[in-house]
A and B are shown apart, each in its own frame.
Chain A
Amino acid sequence: MSPYRALRPLKGIFFVEHKMADEDILIHQALEDQRDMTAVEDFAFKHDFKQLPSGESSYKQLIPKTTPGPGQQYAFEVNLDQCTGCKACVTACHNENGLEEDETWRSVGLIHGVSADKPVMQHVTGACHHCLEPACMHGCPVKAYEKDPVTGVVKHLDDQCIGCQYCILKCPYDVPKYNKKKGIVHKCDMCIGRLKVDEAPACVRACPNEAIRITLIETAAVRQDPSAFVKIPQAPNSDYTLPTTRYLTRKKLAADMTSINAASFEPQHPHLPLVVMLVLTQLSVGAFFMEWLVNRAVEDSLRALLMPAHVFTALALGFLALAASIFHLGRPLYAFRAVLGLKTSWLSREILAFGVFAFLAFVYAAHTRQVLAKPSLQGDILAGSVVAVGVFAVFASIMVYRDTHRVLWDTPMTTFKFFMTTAILGTATVMAVSLNACAGYSPGYFIYTVQAVGVPLAGMVMALTSMKIIVEVLLFSHVRDSRMTALKKSMMLMSGPLRVWTAQRFIYGIAGGIVMPVLFLALHVYWTPVWTLAWVSLMAAMTVAAEFMERYLFFRAVIPLKMPH
């Protein structure tokens, strides 16, 4: 592209002859003048900048005359017929609230379709809908959200936030915004600071066409007919959060209108710490369960060899998982606050459950020697409670995701995936650890372990993995759905921009979870112990890698709920 051409050599005669100093002074002067800002003093106007200007605000007619009475709250009202899509509200929100360079709490989408044979297009401006049952608030593990009892405004407590971003996953309207620099979430508070002094919110005052206003609504009306609020084609159905924004229009907005973003959807944030946390916690729970199964089946001397290795591995990986989850937080120092939301938040419950699980697992590990020496009821209860709490914790993980109402994360799919991961990785890990643990002992032990532990577990890994992979492959049939469903989009993402990861997921899964166990079952009698060990270790590593990929795609291919964009 460079249009380089060799320039003709110049002769000095074309230069105007001055004394060098002349130019230097001129250029210096020009640069000085450019930097000189003293003129600002002359033209910039000064007021008492600490006080509001006297005189009525011209936006008074756009906000209620009184504060909400009992049974009422503030709500946004948007007259769609007045909105032309200029998006001034978006920028005004940014400037008047002093937000980060790329941050704003309002956005404008566009839906289009055909109604009565005529093309209809409609811009839709949206911010927080200040729901009656805010999903963000209920999901928050640290109680960093408040619904003001008088105004109904859903307010975020910035200093209480630990930056877990669960509210972002929970909000069906994509309202809370993560601020990376501060490590916390921000969101629209309806400019309550302005409303308190009878000033209009930034977006209300910035709309050239007065399309946005604040009204008083009866909360009973919202509960009675939730569908009358945020009544926009393509907007997520949210009768569980009860949003309060009312959109008015004289136009007919057909239900089959589609939005610009209906077609262009992108891979989401991978949330790597969560990928690691989910996969390894599930591995750990599964390993404790399999340890319990295996060690009750084998004879005492072998158990003495296997159990410490099993328990130590499961415990170590469990702790690693919990450590990884800390990296997900914007403010990890305050992670301990995460149990405050126990009453409403599955995330709190998950965190607490894994906390208890880790504690019990640690106690169990510390008492391994005693348990081994003298099997007792207490030992069984301890082992049983580790597994029980672990299974409950995995269940809580499932609830954390299904509670977001995202289609890819619905209950059956997430339950299947998470428990299958638990089973597969628990089995593969215990198998690999078992063989490694007794490798240094007598060849007899090793051969016995291969037969008694390796063979059945390899069979289990193969069966479980086959099931999981078949179900996951079957989901791809949604690519051929005639409608652009969320599942179809997820599968299109996995077979499109994410195909590299998808391929890896299946290659590792099939190799480590099916082909390698089958070959192990068929050929292990011919193998040397070293070869067997290497094979089994690689097999376990591949299954773990496969599940990492599966979970990575779980986060990246999900279609978040949001207003039409």
Chain B
Amino acid sequence: MKQLNEFIYQKSGPLTDELALAPSALGILPQRLLPDSAAPMVCGFCSTGCSLDVHLKDGIPVNLTPTKGCPVNTGEACPKGWEALAPLKAFDRATTPYMRKGHGRLEPVNWDAALRIFAGRFKDIQSRHGNDSVAFLSTGQIPTEEMAFLGALAKFGMGLVHGDGNTRQCMATSVVAYKQAFGFDAPPYTYQDFEESDCLVFIGANPCIAHPIMWQRVCRNKNKPELIVIDPRKTETAMAATRHYALKPKSDLVLLYGLAHILIKRNWIDEHYINAHTSGFEGFREHVESFTPFYVSAATSLSVFQIQELANLIHRGKRVSLWWTMGVNQGHEAVRTAQAIVNLALMTGNIGRPGTGANSITGQCNAMGSRLFSNTTNLLGGHDFGNLKHRRKIASLLNIDEARIPARNSLAYNQIIEQIALGKIKGLWIIATNPAHSWIGQQEFRHILKQLEFLVVQDMYHTTQTAQMADLILPAAGWGEKEGTMINSERRMGILRKVAKAPGQALADFAIFKLIAHYWGCGEMFKAWQTPEAVFHILKEISRGTPCDFTGIRDYAMIEAQGGIQWPFPQGQVPQENQRRLFSDGKFFTGDGKARFIFEAPRPVLEDVCNQYPFVLLTGRGTSAQWHTQTRTAKSALLRAMYPQDIYAEINPEDACGLGIRDGQWVYVSTRRAEIKVRALVMPSVAQGHIFVPMHYEAANHLTLPSFDPYSHQPSYKMAAARLAKAPYYYA
């Protein structure tokens, strides 16, 4: 009878049990996926460096939750973090090396053949065109140990001179700005500062979407802080802020000098701090003399009142912190803009104290590791290729012939591309980045790439736009399939663990480098580089005595036990505070220990709007569910549902009305480089005369203009002149 009853009306059973929950040490979880152990590890997307617990059942990762009690993310994560396991299971993982064969098709080959071709081709090119005719482009997405291995192998082992990372596209400006101003590439803050500040100024930063877990810290701020956003767009952060100053694109440098002007005029500066800890202020005072509120108002399209109000807010704040991201870094005069922010912090004494600082929010998960150890434009550990003493130090620590270390700096990313265009560089090795999508002025770049004699792409997927152009693809293991450390935005080292099997013959980049060293014939040089942790100890030694000294870290286990450790952490230091900031003693890393005021007259943009192209084209992050060129985030069905599938452009309602464009309609956006078709998103997020196109869609960089900051060589993605027209039909 009961059975019959259940057949007709069944309140529980196998389908209900599928979704049953059960308690576990990690909280209440799906019973079906109840873990028997878990591994905490640092997330592999952005630079926040959240810790994620990967749930393991019978040694297989089955689920993931953010680590509770971790000092970075305190149990939270953004959608990318929650979905971090999904990209590993994608169908288009590269599971074997591929080589371009006779008909131009990429065909699977074995590792031996791939590595022979790798070494053979590159050596052949070098023998004909010189050692510097082969270069590499790397990434901010692999662990520090792998970056160091790549840099050392390429430069000391293979004799390459030029190599750069995609960090050029995001962080190069901050690197140069900090180095010149502080004497070392040293973001001074700790995330606790978000909570301790009483006035937070975000310049060209959208943490709500780009760094949601940092914004969480802002929300926890108990001081009822003033949240100020300086951004041409009404971003999600601008919406959540207490004040938004929507200035004209690329007028930020003028605004910052204007603020300095007012602060000086009203004597709202910290004379004592300036005298004791900085140099170059007098010159700066003179420099900003001419940036009167009226002049600045005209240049920024903010009112005089707004500018004065902003200066006043900075003055009134007891703990003012200034934060910047890509809106500043990706500009034609980005370094000086970042330094203008540094200047504001210095002149008001807002540095070195809790809740203060001139703080660059980093982009990629290991951009900070790349900045110190990628051995591209810096010699390992923030050293200088041009400095004989540095070369000697590194040579002796690595036990290699000093002559193997090039005495000149690498060319920057854009210069490497120029050299390819000029036919000087003939071979290129690209690791874990997708420039055929992401590089500015993409089509020209693709055209240049075709001039190479040999292109190797090392990636998790054989389907990236760049991999599809390669002559040789080396299949790489991804996040969660290998180990190492990464350094987050607040200089905190976190651990990456191998919890999943890589598919097919994919290998950790570390293992690939080891094999290449052997096939190249320089395996002997890297005898000591057996495991990532061994390399970690080598890097530790390299850091000894430098500002980023982390010789006090015993091993990986210690990093894990502490929930990450911030550099500096010299030998002998006891792990006490888990939130440490720099410069509390007012001593900087320059020769005289003083921070520098650095400034320069603003320059016009390379391509301003005109009658023919009356719109300013802005690009940037779309949603928190999208990452860079989407090679990973697009692999998650869940994340895919969180952003528009079609490329779109945000258009101001007034502009749309004038052109007869309706929301959702297809429109053409064109610049002098290309014309693309996008869906109109008629939204007041952009000001009149501006168009915003998210960078995650391949066509976005057809439009952008290759223009670079002269000091950091970072591309200026956020300014191009564009035209807008509606497509003839609603459903084109």
Measured CB to CB, the residues of A under 8 A from B are 1-5, 7-8, 10, 14-16, 22-24, 26-27, 30-31, 33-35, 37, 39-40, 43-53, 58, 81-82, 84-88, 90-92, 94-99, 101-104, 107-108, 112-114, 119-123, 143, 157-161, 182, 184, 186, 191, 193-194, 197, 199, 205-210, 258, 260, 262-265, 336-337, 340, 484, 492, 496-497
Asked whether any CB of chain A lies closer than 8 Å to the CB of B383, the reply is no
- Residues A208 and B212 in contact in the complex (CB < 8 Å), given A158-B16, A159-B10, A262-B663: yes
Q: Which 9 A-B residue pairs are closest in the complex by CB-CB distance?
A: A263-B664, A98-B30, A4-B104, A119-B684, A208-B216, A102-B637, A91-B82, A47-B25, A159-B13
Asked whether any CB of chain A lies closer than 8 Å to the CB of B64, the reply is yes
B663–A263 CB distance below 8 A: yes
B515–A102 CB distance below 8 A: no
Asked whether any CB of chain A lies closer than 8 Å to the CB of B386, the reply is no
B471–A24 CB distance below 8 A: no
- Residues A497 and B499 in contact in the complex (CB < 8 Å), given A112-B683, A263-B663, A264-B664: no
B120–A15 CB distance below 8 A: yes
- Residues A8 and B638 in contact in the complex (CB < 8 Å), given A16-B521, A114-B684: no
For A158, the chain B residues whose CB sits under 8 A away are: 13, 15-16, 18-19
B82–A92 CB distance below 8 A: yes
Asked whether any CB of chain A lies closer than 8 Å to the CB of B660, the reply is no
- Point out the residue from B65, B127, B502, B624 that lies within 8 Å of A87, measured CB to CB: B624
For B234, the chain A residues whose CB sits under 8 A away are: 119, 121
Within B552-569, the residues touching A (CB, 8 Å) are 556-557, 560
How far apart are A116's CB and chain B's nearest CB, in angstroms? 12
- Residues A96 and B65 in contact in the complex (CB < 8 Å), given A91-B82, A121-B685, A209-B216: yes
Interface of B, secondary structure class, is: mixed
How far apart are A469's CB and chain B's nearest CB, in angstroms? 24
- Quick one: closest B residue to A57, CB to CB? B27
- Point out the residue from A3, A16, A51 that lies within 8 Å of B25, measured CB to CB: A51
For A2, the chain B residues whose CB sits under 8 A away are: 104-105
- Residues A209 and B663 in contact in the complex (CB < 8 Å), given A27-B111, A87-B624: no
A26 to B513, CA, bound (A): 12
Measured CB to CB, the residues of B under 8 A from A are 8-16, 18-40, 56, 59, 63-66, 68, 75-79, 82-83, 86, 100, 103-105, 111-112, 115-117, 119-121, 123-124, 127, 208-209, 212-213, 215-216, 219, 234, 236-237, 239-240, 449-450, 453-455, 468-469, 471, 477, 481, 483, 495, 497-499, 501-502, 505-508, 511, 514-515, 518-521, 556-557, 560, 623-625, 637-642, 644, 646, 653, 662-665, 679, 681-685, 729-731
A101 to B33, CA, bound (A): 13
- Quick one: closest B residue to A30, CB to CB? B511
A207 to B216, CA, bound (A): 9
A26–B8 CB distance below 8 A: no
A264 to B240, CA, bound (A): 26
For A496, the chain B residues whose CB sits under 8 A away are: 729-731
A30–B215 CB distance below 8 A: no
A98–B32 CB distance below 8 A: yes
How far apart are B399's CB and chain A's nearest CB, in angstroms? 21
A5 to B79, CA, bound (A): 41
B468–A84 CB distance below 8 A: no
A3 to B115, CA, bound (A): 21
A98–B63 CB distance below 8 A: yes
A49–B236 CB distance below 8 A: no
A90 to B78, CA, bound (A): 10
How far apart are A100's CB and chain B's nearest CB, in angstroms? 9
B37–A85 CB distance below 8 A: no
For B219, the chain A residues whose CB sits under 8 A away are: 82, 208-210
For A97, the chain B residues whose CB sits under 8 A away are: 19, 21, 30
A191 to B27, CA, bound (A): 13
For B644, the chain A residues whose CB sits under 8 A away are: 260, 264
Q: Give 11 A-B contacts (CB < 8 Å), ordered by A residue.
A: A4-B103, A15-B116, A27-B515, A46-B37, A47-B25, A85-B208, A91-B639, A119-B234, A193-B21, A264-B646, A340-B8
